[in-house]
Structure 1
């Protein structure tokens, strides 16, 4: 639906029924959704051309222009994905290859303002997620004086397939990493257009959780994006993990093998396959997992090498993880969490290094073993990579690093949820109606901090939030907002959060009902886990 004739006439006279109601970007004019309190949201804004047809598996191209005022009041389609995670709640309608849209929430009254900008990348393992998820909604951050942006990017086989023919046709002699290239293109778009929304194009902070945090570590390392940033926030995860990233050659062979499973012998045939058929093929048993690679273009070298050489974006970094990123069954399977079962699992994983591991992950009692199994599972899953990122940046960037440990367990679920139990990423599973209600988690599970950090507790109807939860959210969001504005999380009314020190990796801010500054308790564990 086009803007009304009256609104158009006001625009032509240089007026507007609402301040910032219509903005002009590279492709044309956009009309906003007006939110109470002076916030305006621009949803479903195209930042690149639809990556369909011949543009499937190509670097993002400039968005097409439009002639009339485009209503920016609905989220664009989400990237192609299977229904994987139970905690994802989408406000977009359906999946599509035509997914390269972003959303902007602005508190600015005029385009002459220069507000700090937050660009947030969603999580979901590079196989799921969307900028429309309520937990990432930018309205609350906009009320803190920040122009907030969420970005859709390609996922799974559509976002990360590498193939020799793709590499050959590429002017960059690379393939894969299309999802990361989408993010970089979105950052370029923000740099070029955010002033129209009252944002400061020279003050862009990027943030994300899980795969979004991996993305932040990647954009900081890439020559395509690192010079666009003034700060970065990483919540649980980075590309500096325990396992080396696949090379382009390795990923190409994975792509060739996948093409064979769907019965295609050429790139043209692959591009001709229906998107849904490709998507369903990735969900079959034994299908490969497509993710970020060292492609020689977006990532000229491995992130570990880039950070070790100090060639990443040299900007302040706020980074941390949660107290229970993973649970004991990740290591133990269906075996009970006893001391003996944990020792057996460590022996199987580490062989002649098992005794060393057990010194730092002790198992003298069953209770201690369950906690050690939880810690080791969390470290192997995501905590180590986040620590390594923080530590390398601290060693080579010359910029402050602020480390947190998020420790507030979610409260009990609302009575309406019955006997549901929480899953890995905050998703829920409903069991037998006669079964007892599961107790709250012992720690802060993976993804639990998102709604707190972005001020969006009310968007999650699963949990019975308490006044203490709202206080934690107020505190955490204040730290984040201060960092986005100044590169320093500290501010009036907050416990002083000192930057980490290169020699020790600490101190660490423990975020809970009563925040505390603590020495780093985990450095020895991560040094032990370092690949030899």
Structure 2
């Protein structure tokens, strides 16, 4: 599998799952601007936010805070620059614009103030009585394949965790061609001789802003956890590897995805070739011409046939070396990690391309995918019966999509990270939709854990949530809250969750679902096989 195919798989699989979730227009908007809101003073000026109530707890909410200058004009495809100071009181009561994106995902519902290149804003939820406190902080990065997403999405709303005493932050970062274009000309003008990764540089800048300013909101700059799902989880793994975020984070949470294994980023040289092909495609003969093009024109071209997808690269600055090499050498952040994936990250129908789930069809697909490695693949993912085809096909589809990269991150951090790793397996399927058009799920789909983990089930009115769903959400959210506060997910009233460690031929892992419990995960041979079976161009 090539890197291009890996990133295309990330976007296609995520988009296919999103389209199936029928989440359109399900989230209620919050109240409009509130007069005489709470004020905080940050390095660039005074902000006026909103008062809100969640679970009987009073909160202060600040939306649309600029953490960097607008990356427009001459700042397009440059590292984020400091935000300008302002005079007087700046209203922070509306979400800022979302970053430029093509609208590829049906489950994304935005509360943002439109869409713009001027999108480097973050949002803060904090307890009303947090002034002068030193509360733990969560900085959360959205998913969306590095081509979609926004900090205003209601599923990432920070009120639930803020009600538990955690200052919660969501961050916008540049996407698609605006966030990840690499060109020799961009490397030439960079003092670090780097190109691409502007979206990741945005995240590092936001993390620095939080470190420098969060005390004004009652947060402890020495107790910052970074977290995210899918591309957001990949971002967390990259931030842990980057020297630019060293010392800024205390703990990390990764929900399905890492810049390791089959999702390892390409070299700068490879990314520059992709960028040159894009420039040629849009008829630009210089960097100046590219910067002069309307954002909408560039965005539309990203969807043209034959245009490769943009994503992180080993730029030599944010990522000085391939992440695999950084983690293997133990040069990543040595912080506790809570990480895992879901029971239905993929689905056998995606693998079989809608062919009937028969043993013959399954073997044909596996042999085409793995060639000389097919016999070993069939031993690890057997398909002798229709039932086995469905189970193994779902496992293989999910592993090749994102679960393998997640396992690789867990395993390397466990071996070289000098801190505990807590490994989960989320199994709760979503219930049937309220309108009856969508049946209950058979497994936990990709992204399906977000509302449970962040305590946002109630806002999603597509699904007929049950008492069981609410109980699972309470468990997962309490695990997250305990980890953010202490670096250990264990707390009173929760099933014990041991750190990942060898046990009976496998590793301890926590299944989180209707019957949360610890089990021994013995899937390492599957992932070791996938690591070996990747073609040379997919290796770092």
Mark yes or no: TM-score above 0.5: yes
> What is the deviation of 1:355?
1.3
Distance across 1 between alignment mates of 2:122 and 2:264: 31
SS at match of 2:64: strand
Cα-to-partner distance string for 1:441-497 (whole Å, 9 max, x where unaligned): 211000000000000001211110000000000000000000000000000000100
2:485 corresponds to: 485
1:159 corresponds to: 179
In structure 2, relative to structure 1, the CA distance for the partners of 1:3 and 1:470 (3 Å cut) is: closer
2:49 corresponds to: 32
Structure 1 position 213 matched with structure 2 position 233: yes
Q: Which one has the largest radius of gyration?
A: 1
- 1:262-411 mapped onto 2 (5 Å cutoff): 262-411=282-431
> What is the deviation of 1:505?
5.6
1:117 corresponds to: 137
SS at match of 1:39: strand
> What is the deviation of 1:352?
2.2
> What is the deviation of 1:350?
1.2
Distance across 2 between alignment mates of 1:453 and 1:321: 13
Distance across 2 between alignment mates of 1:353 and 1:185: 43
SS at match of 1:531: helix
Distance across 2 between alignment mates of 1:55 and 1:148: 29
Tell whether the 8 Å contact from 2:500 to 2:509 is kept in structure 1 after alignment: yes
Distance across 1 between alignment mates of 2:149 and 2:71: 18
2:39 corresponds to: 22
Structure 1 position 87 matched with structure 2 position 107: yes
Question: Which of 236, 253, 259 lines up with 2:273 in the alignment?
Answer: 253
SS at match of 2:425: strand
> What is the deviation of 1:331?
1.6
1:499 corresponds to: 499
SS at match of 1:379: helix
SS at match of 1:377: helix
Distance across 1 between alignment mates of 2:506 and 2:475: 23
Cα-to-partner distance string for 1:375-425 (whole Å, 9 max, x where unaligned): 00000000000000000000001210000000001000111xx53xxxxxx
Tell whether the 8 Å contact from 2:41 to 2:216 is kept in structure 1 after alignment: yes
2:520 corresponds to: 519
Tell whether the 8 Å contact from 2:509 to 2:521 is kept in structure 1 after alignment: yes
In structure 2, relative to structure 1, the CA distance for the partners of 1:232 and 1:284 (3 Å cut) is: same
Question: Which of 63, 66, 81 lines up with 1:61 in the alignment?
Answer: 81
> What is the deviation of 1:360?
1.3
1:434 corresponds to: none
Tell whether the 8 Å contact from 1:108 to 1:198 is kept in structure 2 after alignment: no
Distance across 2 between alignment mates of 1:77 and 1:92: 5
Q: Aligned residue pairs: how many?
A: 498
> What is the deviation of 1:226?
2.8
Distance across 2 between alignment mates of 1:459 and 1:531: 43
In structure 2, relative to structure 1, the CA distance for the partners of 1:243 and 1:531 (3 Å cut) is: farther
Structure 1 position 74 matched with structure 2 position 74: no
In structure 2, relative to structure 1, the CA distance for the partners of 1:111 and 1:528 (3 Å cut) is: same
2:470 corresponds to: 470
In structure 2, relative to structure 1, the CA distance for the partners of 1:207 and 1:454 (3 Å cut) is: same
> What is the deviation of 1:309?
0.3
2:70 corresponds to: 50
In structure 2, relative to structure 1, the CA distance for the partners of 1:3 and 1:411 (3 Å cut) is: closer
1:241 corresponds to: 261
In structure 2, relative to structure 1, the CA distance for the partners of 1:302 and 1:411 (3 Å cut) is: same
Question: Which of 133, 137, 146 lines up with 2:166 in the alignment?
Answer: 146
SS at match of 2:298: helix
Q: Which sits farther off after the overlay, 118-127 or 366-375? A: 366-375
Tell whether the 8 Å contact from 1:164 to 1:252 is kept in structure 2 after alignment: yes
Structure 1 position 101 matched with structure 2 position 129: no
Q: Structure 1: which 5+ residue stretches go unaligned?
A: 8-17, 420-437
| Misfit runs of 4+, over 6 Å | 1-4
> What is the deviation of 1:245?
2.2
SS at match of 2:424: strand
In structure 2, relative to structure 1, the CA distance for the partners of 1:404 and 1:267 (3 Å cut) is: same
SS at match of 1:227: coil
SS at match of 2:296: helix
> What is the deviation of 1:2?
11
Distance across 2 between alignment mates of 1:227 and 1:531: 34
Q: Structure 2: which 5+ residue stretches go unaligned?
A: 1-31, 534-540
Higher relative contact order (CA 8 A, sep 6+): 2
Structure 1 position 461 matched with structure 2 position 481: no
Tell whether the 8 Å contact from 1:2 to 1:68 is kept in structure 2 after alignment: no
In structure 2, relative to structure 1, the CA distance for the partners of 1:485 and 1:354 (3 Å cut) is: same
> What is the deviation of 1:359?
1.1
2:439 corresponds to: 439
In structure 2, relative to structure 1, the CA distance for the partners of 1:519 and 1:340 (3 Å cut) is: same
Q: Provide the alpha-carbon RMSD of the alignment.
A: 1.5
SS at match of 1:457: coil
1:126 corresponds to: 146
